[in-house]
Amino acid sequence: MPEKFSLCGRVIFCSMCSAFTEVQEPNSTIGPPVTDQPPLVGLKRWQRWLLVVLNIAFLLIGQSGAVILSRLYYDGGGKSIWMATLIQSAAFPVLFLPLCFFSFHKNHPPTPTIPASPSFRTLSMVYLFLGALLAGDNMLYSIGLLYLPLSTYSLICAAQLAFNAIFSFFINSQKFTMLILNSVILVTLSSCLVAVHSDPTDSNTRERIKGKSTVGFLCTLGASAAYSLLLSLMQFAFEKILKKETFAVVLSMQIYTSLVASCICVVGLFGSGEWRGLREEMEGFGRGSVCYVMTLVGAALAWQVSYVGVVGLIFMVSSLFSNVISILPLPLVPVFAAMFYHENMDGVKVVAMFLAIWGFASYLYQNFLDDHT
Protein backbone atom coordinates (compact mmCIF):
# COMPACT_ATOMS: atom_id res chain seq x y z
CA MET A 1 0.00 0.00 0.00
CA PRO A 2 2.10 4.45 2.97
CA GLU A 3 -0.34 6.02 3.59
CA LYS A 4 0.67 8.60 5.30
CA PHE A 5 -0.96 16.28 9.57
CA SER A 6 -3.55 13.88 11.07
CA LEU A 7 -5.67 16.27 13.17
CA CYS A 8 -5.86 18.87 10.44
CA GLY A 9 -6.52 16.17 7.86
CA ARG A 10 -9.43 14.73 9.83
CA VAL A 11 -10.96 18.20 10.31
CA ILE A 12 -10.84 18.90 6.59
CA PHE A 13 -12.10 15.38 5.86
CA CYS A 14 -15.14 15.83 8.14
CA SER A 15 -15.91 19.11 6.36
CA MET A 16 -15.75 17.25 3.07
CA CYS A 17 -18.08 14.57 4.46
CA SER A 18 -20.64 17.28 5.26
CA ALA A 19 -20.40 18.52 1.68
CA PHE A 20 -20.98 14.98 0.42
CA THR A 21 -24.17 14.61 2.46
CA GLU A 22 -25.62 17.99 1.53
CA VAL A 23 -25.61 17.30 -2.20
CA GLN A 24 -27.30 13.89 -2.10
CA GLU A 25 -30.89 13.62 -3.28
CA PRO A 26 -33.13 12.06 -0.63
CA ASN A 27 -35.43 10.25 -3.04
CA SER A 28 -32.91 8.94 -5.55
CA THR A 29 -32.83 5.23 -6.35
CA ILE A 30 -29.90 2.93 -6.30
CA GLY A 31 -27.95 3.24 -9.54
CA PRO A 32 -24.70 1.78 -10.82
CA PRO A 33 -21.78 1.36 -8.44
CA VAL A 34 -19.73 4.43 -7.55
CA THR A 35 -16.98 3.14 -9.81
CA ASP A 36 -19.29 3.63 -12.79
CA GLN A 37 -21.18 6.77 -11.79
CA PRO A 38 -19.25 9.48 -9.94
CA PRO A 39 -21.23 11.16 -7.14
CA LEU A 40 -21.39 14.85 -6.18
CA VAL A 41 -23.15 15.80 -9.40
CA GLY A 42 -24.90 18.61 -7.49
CA LEU A 43 -21.66 20.50 -7.00
CA LYS A 44 -20.15 22.94 -9.44
CA ARG A 45 -17.23 21.59 -11.43
CA TRP A 46 -14.63 23.67 -9.58
CA GLN A 47 -16.06 22.59 -6.20
CA ARG A 48 -15.95 18.92 -7.13
CA TRP A 49 -12.40 19.16 -8.41
CA LEU A 50 -11.37 21.05 -5.28
CA LEU A 51 -12.51 18.06 -3.20
CA VAL A 52 -10.73 15.69 -5.58
CA VAL A 53 -7.52 17.71 -5.24
CA LEU A 54 -7.83 17.67 -1.43
CA ASN A 55 -8.13 13.88 -1.42
CA ILE A 56 -5.18 13.58 -3.77
CA ALA A 57 -3.24 15.79 -1.32
CA PHE A 58 -4.19 13.46 1.55
CA LEU A 59 -2.90 10.50 -0.43
CA LEU A 60 0.34 12.17 -1.60
CA ILE A 61 1.24 13.70 1.77
CA GLY A 62 0.16 10.69 3.78
CA GLN A 63 1.93 8.04 1.76
CA SER A 64 5.14 10.02 1.34
CA GLY A 65 5.15 10.99 5.02
CA ALA A 66 4.54 7.43 6.16
CA VAL A 67 7.40 6.03 4.10
CA ILE A 68 9.79 8.73 5.33
CA LEU A 69 8.80 8.25 9.00
CA SER A 70 9.06 4.47 8.68
CA ARG A 71 12.57 4.92 7.32
CA LEU A 72 13.35 7.27 10.22
CA TYR A 73 12.37 4.44 12.58
CA TYR A 74 15.00 2.16 11.02
CA ASP A 75 17.68 4.84 10.77
CA GLY A 76 17.20 5.78 14.43
CA GLY A 77 17.92 2.25 15.57
CA GLY A 78 14.56 0.49 15.19
CA LYS A 79 14.96 -3.20 14.37
CA SER A 80 11.52 -4.77 14.82
CA ILE A 81 10.08 -5.75 11.46
CA TRP A 82 6.79 -6.71 13.11
CA MET A 83 6.48 -3.26 14.72
CA ALA A 84 7.20 -1.57 11.38
CA THR A 85 4.49 -3.78 9.87
CA LEU A 86 1.98 -3.15 12.66
CA ILE A 87 2.06 0.63 12.34
CA GLN A 88 0.88 0.37 8.73
CA SER A 89 -2.58 -0.74 9.89
CA ALA A 90 -2.79 -0.10 13.66
CA ALA A 91 -4.32 3.39 13.48
CA PHE A 92 -7.51 2.16 11.78
CA PRO A 93 -9.72 3.23 14.76
CA VAL A 94 -9.49 6.84 13.54
CA LEU A 95 -11.70 5.79 10.62
CA PHE A 96 -14.58 4.87 12.95
CA LEU A 97 -15.49 8.57 13.23
CA PRO A 98 -16.33 9.04 9.54
CA LEU A 99 -17.89 5.54 9.50
CA CYS A 100 -20.28 6.52 12.30
CA PHE A 101 -21.06 9.74 10.46
CA PHE A 102 -22.10 7.92 7.31
CA SER A 103 -23.99 5.31 9.31
CA PHE A 104 -26.32 8.08 10.48
CA HIS A 105 -26.43 9.76 7.06
CA LYS A 106 -27.37 7.06 4.60
CA ASN A 107 -26.71 7.72 0.95
CA HIS A 108 -30.12 6.30 0.05
CA PRO A 109 -33.28 5.38 1.97
CA PRO A 110 -34.31 1.73 2.15
CA THR A 111 -36.03 0.68 -1.08
CA PRO A 112 -36.79 -2.66 -2.72
CA THR A 113 -34.03 -1.98 -5.27
CA ILE A 114 -31.22 -2.12 -2.69
CA PRO A 115 -29.12 -5.27 -3.26
CA ALA A 116 -29.34 -7.87 -0.51
CA SER A 117 -26.42 -7.64 1.89
CA PRO A 118 -24.08 -10.63 1.96
CA SER A 119 -24.22 -12.95 4.93
CA PHE A 120 -22.08 -12.47 8.01
CA ARG A 121 -20.09 -15.58 7.07
CA THR A 122 -19.38 -14.25 3.59
CA LEU A 123 -18.30 -10.87 4.90
CA SER A 124 -16.10 -12.52 7.52
CA MET A 125 -14.37 -14.66 4.90
CA VAL A 126 -13.78 -11.62 2.67
CA TYR A 127 -12.35 -9.51 5.49
CA LEU A 128 -10.21 -12.35 6.86
CA PHE A 129 -8.71 -13.21 3.49
CA LEU A 130 -8.05 -9.60 2.44
CA GLY A 131 -6.78 -8.73 5.92
CA ALA A 132 -4.31 -11.63 5.86
CA LEU A 133 -3.16 -10.55 2.40
CA LEU A 134 -2.75 -6.98 3.68
CA ALA A 135 -0.65 -8.18 6.63
CA GLY A 136 1.64 -10.18 4.34
CA ASP A 137 1.93 -7.24 1.95
CA ASN A 138 2.83 -4.86 4.80
CA MET A 139 5.44 -7.32 6.07
CA LEU A 140 7.12 -7.51 2.66
CA TYR A 141 7.14 -3.71 2.40
CA SER A 142 8.73 -3.46 5.86
CA ILE A 143 11.53 -5.86 4.92
CA GLY A 144 12.11 -4.06 1.64
CA LEU A 145 12.34 -0.67 3.37
CA LEU A 146 14.77 -2.12 5.92
CA TYR A 147 17.23 -3.46 3.34
CA LEU A 148 17.03 -0.83 0.57
CA PRO A 149 17.85 2.87 0.30
CA LEU A 150 14.68 4.95 0.43
CA SER A 151 14.91 6.19 -3.16
CA THR A 152 15.61 2.70 -4.50
CA TYR A 153 12.74 1.25 -2.48
CA SER A 154 10.27 3.82 -3.76
CA LEU A 155 11.18 3.46 -7.42
CA ILE A 156 10.90 -0.34 -7.25
CA CYS A 157 7.46 0.12 -5.69
CA ALA A 158 6.43 1.81 -8.92
CA ALA A 159 6.32 -1.69 -10.41
CA GLN A 160 2.93 -1.84 -8.71
CA LEU A 161 1.60 -0.09 -11.81
CA ALA A 162 2.62 -3.00 -14.03
CA PHE A 163 1.18 -5.59 -11.66
CA ASN A 164 -1.99 -3.55 -11.35
CA ALA A 165 -2.47 -3.67 -15.12
CA ILE A 166 -2.00 -7.45 -15.18
CA PHE A 167 -4.32 -8.24 -12.27
CA SER A 168 -6.94 -5.76 -13.48
CA PHE A 169 -6.91 -7.47 -16.88
CA PHE A 170 -7.58 -10.95 -15.46
CA ILE A 171 -9.71 -10.10 -12.41
CA ASN A 172 -11.53 -6.87 -13.30
CA SER A 173 -11.66 -7.22 -17.12
CA GLN A 174 -9.57 -4.09 -17.61
CA LYS A 175 -8.70 -3.34 -21.23
CA PHE A 176 -5.01 -3.77 -22.14
CA THR A 177 -4.29 -0.95 -24.58
CA MET A 178 -1.06 0.32 -26.12
CA LEU A 179 -0.90 3.14 -23.57
CA ILE A 180 -1.15 0.68 -20.68
CA LEU A 181 1.43 -1.57 -22.33
CA ASN A 182 3.69 1.48 -22.72
CA SER A 183 3.31 2.32 -19.01
CA VAL A 184 4.10 -1.29 -18.01
CA ILE A 185 7.29 -1.28 -20.08
CA LEU A 186 8.42 2.11 -18.76
CA VAL A 187 7.80 1.26 -15.11
CA THR A 188 9.52 -2.11 -15.55
CA LEU A 189 12.57 -0.38 -17.03
CA SER A 190 12.54 2.08 -14.13
CA SER A 191 12.55 -0.75 -11.60
CA CYS A 192 15.31 -2.58 -13.45
CA LEU A 193 17.49 0.53 -13.42
CA VAL A 194 17.28 1.02 -9.68
CA ALA A 195 17.60 -2.71 -9.05
CA VAL A 196 21.09 -2.78 -10.55
CA HIS A 197 22.11 0.60 -9.16
CA SER A 198 22.11 0.84 -5.38
CA ASP A 199 24.42 3.33 -3.67
CA PRO A 200 23.44 4.17 -0.08
CA THR A 201 25.64 6.96 1.21
CA ASP A 202 24.79 6.71 4.89
CA SER A 203 27.17 4.46 6.86
CA ASN A 204 24.38 3.09 9.07
CA THR A 205 22.37 2.26 5.98
CA ARG A 206 25.34 0.52 4.36
CA GLU A 207 25.89 -1.60 7.45
CA ARG A 208 22.23 -2.54 7.76
CA ILE A 209 21.73 -3.58 4.13
CA LYS A 210 25.09 -5.25 3.67
CA GLY A 211 24.47 -8.44 1.70
CA LYS A 212 20.69 -7.92 1.94
CA SER A 213 19.98 -5.83 -1.16
CA THR A 214 18.71 -8.82 -3.13
CA VAL A 215 16.36 -9.76 -0.30
CA GLY A 216 15.11 -6.18 -0.13
CA PHE A 217 14.56 -6.03 -3.88
CA LEU A 218 12.63 -9.32 -4.02
CA CYS A 219 10.49 -8.43 -0.99
CA THR A 220 9.65 -4.98 -2.36
CA LEU A 221 8.79 -6.44 -5.75
CA GLY A 222 6.65 -9.10 -4.08
CA ALA A 223 4.94 -6.45 -1.97
CA SER A 224 4.11 -4.43 -5.08
CA ALA A 225 2.53 -7.51 -6.65
CA ALA A 226 0.61 -8.35 -3.46
CA TYR A 227 -0.72 -4.79 -3.11
CA SER A 228 -1.89 -4.72 -6.73
CA LEU A 229 -3.62 -8.06 -6.19
CA LEU A 230 -5.23 -6.68 -3.03
CA LEU A 231 -6.62 -3.65 -4.87
CA SER A 232 -8.05 -5.79 -7.66
CA LEU A 233 -9.63 -8.23 -5.20
CA MET A 234 -11.16 -5.33 -3.24
CA GLN A 235 -12.69 -3.97 -6.43
CA PHE A 236 -13.94 -7.46 -7.27
CA ALA A 237 -15.49 -7.75 -3.79
CA PHE A 238 -17.27 -4.41 -4.18
CA GLU A 239 -18.71 -5.34 -7.56
CA LYS A 240 -19.49 -9.06 -7.18
CA ILE A 241 -19.98 -9.68 -3.43
CA LEU A 242 -20.97 -6.45 -1.72
CA LYS A 243 -22.61 -5.20 -4.95
CA LYS A 244 -22.58 -1.62 -3.74
CA GLU A 245 -19.92 0.97 -3.08
CA THR A 246 -21.21 3.58 -0.68
CA PHE A 247 -18.71 5.50 1.34
CA ALA A 248 -19.65 3.58 4.50
CA VAL A 249 -19.05 0.25 2.74
CA VAL A 250 -15.63 1.39 1.52
CA LEU A 251 -14.68 2.58 5.02
CA SER A 252 -15.84 -0.72 6.49
CA MET A 253 -13.61 -2.58 4.05
CA GLN A 254 -10.60 -0.50 5.16
CA ILE A 255 -11.38 -0.80 8.87
CA TYR A 256 -12.02 -4.52 9.11
CA THR A 257 -9.20 -5.61 6.82
CA SER A 258 -6.87 -3.39 8.84
CA LEU A 259 -8.23 -4.92 12.04
CA VAL A 260 -7.42 -8.43 10.79
CA ALA A 261 -3.96 -7.31 9.63
CA SER A 262 -3.25 -5.65 12.99
CA CYS A 263 -4.26 -8.77 14.91
CA ILE A 264 -1.92 -10.89 12.78
CA CYS A 265 0.91 -8.41 13.38
CA VAL A 266 0.32 -8.41 17.15
CA VAL A 267 0.46 -12.20 17.18
CA GLY A 268 3.66 -12.08 15.13
CA LEU A 269 5.18 -9.42 17.39
CA PHE A 270 4.66 -11.52 20.52
CA GLY A 271 5.19 -14.90 18.87
CA SER A 272 8.57 -13.87 17.45
CA GLY A 273 9.71 -12.44 20.79
CA GLU A 274 10.48 -9.04 19.25
CA TRP A 275 8.30 -7.36 21.89
CA ARG A 276 10.97 -8.08 24.51
CA GLY A 277 13.40 -5.71 22.81
CA LEU A 278 10.99 -2.80 22.32
CA ARG A 279 11.88 -1.05 25.61
CA GLU A 280 15.60 -1.29 24.88
CA GLU A 281 14.92 -0.16 21.32
CA MET A 282 13.01 2.90 22.57
CA GLU A 283 15.66 3.85 25.13
CA GLY A 284 18.46 3.48 22.60
CA PHE A 285 16.69 5.31 19.79
CA GLY A 286 19.07 7.82 18.24
CA ARG A 287 16.77 10.83 18.64
CA GLY A 288 15.39 9.94 22.06
CA SER A 289 12.48 7.91 23.39
CA VAL A 290 9.94 10.69 22.81
CA CYS A 291 10.94 10.89 19.16
CA TYR A 292 10.68 7.09 18.98
CA VAL A 293 7.05 7.15 20.09
CA MET A 294 6.21 10.16 17.93
CA THR A 295 7.79 8.51 14.90
CA LEU A 296 5.67 5.38 15.29
CA VAL A 297 2.48 7.30 16.04
CA GLY A 298 3.12 9.74 13.20
CA ALA A 299 3.77 6.95 10.70
CA ALA A 300 0.63 5.08 11.79
CA LEU A 301 -1.55 8.18 11.43
CA ALA A 302 0.10 9.09 8.14
CA TRP A 303 -0.85 5.70 6.70
CA GLN A 304 -4.47 6.36 7.70
CA VAL A 305 -4.35 9.85 6.14
CA SER A 306 -3.37 8.20 2.88
CA TYR A 307 -6.22 5.69 3.27
CA VAL A 308 -8.65 8.61 3.69
CA GLY A 309 -7.38 9.92 0.36
CA VAL A 310 -7.80 6.48 -1.21
CA VAL A 311 -11.39 5.99 -0.08
CA GLY A 312 -12.26 9.61 -0.83
CA LEU A 313 -11.14 9.20 -4.44
CA ILE A 314 -13.04 5.91 -4.69
CA PHE A 315 -16.16 7.68 -3.46
CA MET A 316 -15.88 10.73 -5.70
CA VAL A 317 -14.34 9.31 -8.88
CA SER A 318 -13.63 5.58 -9.13
CA SER A 319 -11.60 2.77 -7.63
CA LEU A 320 -9.36 2.64 -10.69
CA PHE A 321 -8.58 6.36 -10.51
CA SER A 322 -7.73 5.98 -6.82
CA ASN A 323 -5.40 3.08 -7.58
CA VAL A 324 -3.58 5.05 -10.26
CA ILE A 325 -3.17 8.14 -8.06
CA SER A 326 -1.66 5.95 -5.33
CA ILE A 327 1.30 5.34 -7.67
CA LEU A 328 2.10 9.04 -8.01
CA PRO A 329 3.96 9.54 -4.67
CA LEU A 330 6.44 6.75 -5.43
CA PRO A 331 8.55 8.63 -8.00
CA LEU A 332 8.46 11.71 -5.74
CA VAL A 333 9.88 10.00 -2.65
CA PRO A 334 13.48 9.99 -4.05
CA VAL A 335 13.31 13.79 -4.06
CA PHE A 336 12.32 13.79 -0.36
CA ALA A 337 15.03 11.21 0.31
CA ALA A 338 17.62 13.55 -1.21
CA MET A 339 16.27 16.46 0.85
CA PHE A 340 15.90 14.78 4.25
CA TYR A 341 18.34 11.83 4.13
CA HIS A 342 20.98 13.30 1.79
CA GLU A 343 20.87 10.31 -0.53
CA ASN A 344 22.57 10.80 -3.86
CA MET A 345 20.26 11.86 -6.69
CA ASP A 346 22.48 10.79 -9.56
CA GLY A 347 21.72 10.49 -13.26
CA VAL A 348 20.50 6.89 -13.09
CA LYS A 349 17.92 7.69 -10.43
CA VAL A 350 16.79 10.79 -12.32
CA VAL A 351 16.26 8.71 -15.47
CA ALA A 352 14.44 6.01 -13.46
CA MET A 353 12.20 8.64 -11.85
CA PHE A 354 11.48 10.19 -15.26
CA LEU A 355 10.52 6.79 -16.69
CA ALA A 356 8.25 6.08 -13.71
CA ILE A 357 6.48 9.45 -14.07
CA TRP A 358 6.17 8.94 -17.84
CA GLY A 359 4.67 5.50 -17.26
CA PHE A 360 2.24 6.93 -14.69
CA ALA A 361 1.20 9.71 -17.09
CA SER A 362 0.61 7.18 -19.86
CA TYR A 363 -1.55 5.04 -17.57
CA LEU A 364 -3.49 8.07 -16.33
CA TYR A 365 -4.12 9.33 -19.87
CA GLN A 366 -5.59 5.95 -20.82
CA ASN A 367 -8.02 6.23 -17.90
CA PHE A 368 -8.90 9.74 -19.04
CA LEU A 369 -9.73 8.38 -22.49
CA ASP A 370 -11.81 5.57 -20.97
CA ASP A 371 -13.86 8.06 -18.96
CA HIS A 372 -14.70 10.05 -22.10
CA THR A 373 -15.72 7.20 -24.41
C-alpha gyration radius of the chain: 20
Give the mean pLDDT of 8-33: 38
User: Is 317 a residue whose pLDDT tops 50?
Assistant: yes
Whether residue 30 is contained in a domain is answered as no
DSSP, collapsed to helix, strand or coil, labels residue 171 as helix
> Pick the residue with more confidence: 142 or 235?
142
Whether residue 112 is contained in a domain is answered as no
Q: What is the pLDDT of residue 111?
A: 44
- Cβ–Cβ contacts within 10 Å for residue 210, how many? 10
d(CA 336, CA 345): 10
d(CA 169, CA 85): 29
Q: What is the pLDDT of residue 182?
A: 84
Q: Residue 60: give the domain boundaries.
A: 6-22+35-104+119-371
Q: pLDDT class for 118, splitting at 50, 70, 90?
A: confident
Total count of domains within the chain: 1
Q: What is the pLDDT of residue 172?
A: 76
Whether residue 111 is contained in a domain is answered as no
Q: What is the pLDDT of residues 260-285, one digit of tens each?
A: 999 999 999 999 999 999 999 999 99
Q: What is the pLDDT of residues 356-366, one digit of tens each?
A: 788 778 877 87
Least confident span in 39-43, 53-57, 151-155: 39-43
Q: How many CA atoms lie within 13 A of 69 on its CB side?
A: 27
Give the mean pLDDT of 25-37: 37
Q: With the C-alpha atoms ordered 278, 280, 285, 289, is the resulting torsion angle positive or negative?
A: positive
Whether residue 113 is contained in a domain is answered as no
Least confident span in 19-23, 119-123, 333-337: 19-23
Q: What is the pLDDT of residue 273?
A: 92
Number of H helices, E strands in the chain: 16, 0
- Amino acid occupying residue 129: F
Q: What is the pLDDT of residues 88-99, one digit of tens each?
A: 999 999 888 878
Whether residue 324 is contained in a domain is answered as yes
pTM of structure = 0.76
Q: What is the pLDDT of residue 2?
A: 40
Q: What is the pLDDT of residues 170-205, one digit of tens each?
A: 887 767 788 878 877 887 777 677 666 555 555 555
Q: What is the pLDDT of residue 5?
A: 35
d(CA 358, CA 355): 5
User: Is 238 a residue whose pLDDT tops 90?
Assistant: no
User: Is 215 a residue whose pLDDT tops 80?
Assistant: yes
Q: pLDDT class for 234, splitting at 50, 70, 90?
A: confident
Whether residue 341 is contained in a domain is answered as yes
Residue 341 has φ and ψ, to the nearest 5°, of: -115, 0
Whether residue 109 is contained in a domain is answered as no
Whether residue 1 is contained in a domain is answered as no
Q: In the chain, what percentage of residues exceed pLDDT 70? A: 68
